[in-house]
């Protein structure tokens, strides 16, 4: 389940963020040890999680400014909406 939008999805459809001894990191493999939280690969979910301190709550740890910056850079590279949602919207508009 995505911690930002609270919608269920399979783990392979979500991106795991993990609390490690070195800080909070994106875990693309989903195999790093540590407390994890999941987000959709959508900028809107990441921005909500970062802006509303949802990661801090889910991971039960403060997130350093350096880690927040790295997570924000990762979020900036993500799409605004899922590609198939654009197709659905275009089909409905026709």
CATH number at residue 68: 3.30.1230.10
Q: Do the domain assignments include residue 54?
A: yes
Q: Give the three-class secondary structure for 41.
A: coil
How does pLDDT run across 23-81, given as a tens digit for each residue?
999 998 989 999 999 999 999 999 999 999 999 999 999 999 999 999 999 999 999 87
Q: Do the domain assignments include residue 83?
A: yes
Could you tell me the pLDDT band of residue 92, with boundaries at 50, 70 and 90? Answer: very low
Q: Do the domain assignments include residue 60?
A: yes
DSSP letter, residue 64: -
Domain span holding position 17: 11-93
Q: Do the domain assignments include residue 21?
A: yes
Q: Do the domain assignments include residue 6?
A: no
Q: How many domains does the chain have?
A: 1
Q: Do the domain assignments include residue 1?
A: no
Measured between alpha carbons, how far is 37 from 25 in angstroms, rounded to an integer?
11
């Amino acid at each position: 389940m995505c911690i930002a939008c609270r919608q269920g999805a399979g783990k392979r459809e979500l991106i795991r963020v993990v609390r490690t001894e070195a800080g909070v990191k994106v875990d693309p493999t989903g195999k790093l040890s540590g407390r994890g939280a999941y987000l959709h690969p959508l900028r809107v979910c990441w921005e909500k999680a970062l802006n509303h301190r949802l990661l801090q709550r889910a991971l039960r740890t403060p997130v350093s400014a350096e880690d927040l910056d790295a997570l924000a850079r990762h979020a900036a590279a993500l799409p605004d909406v899922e590609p198939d949602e654009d197709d659905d919207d275009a089909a409905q508009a026709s």
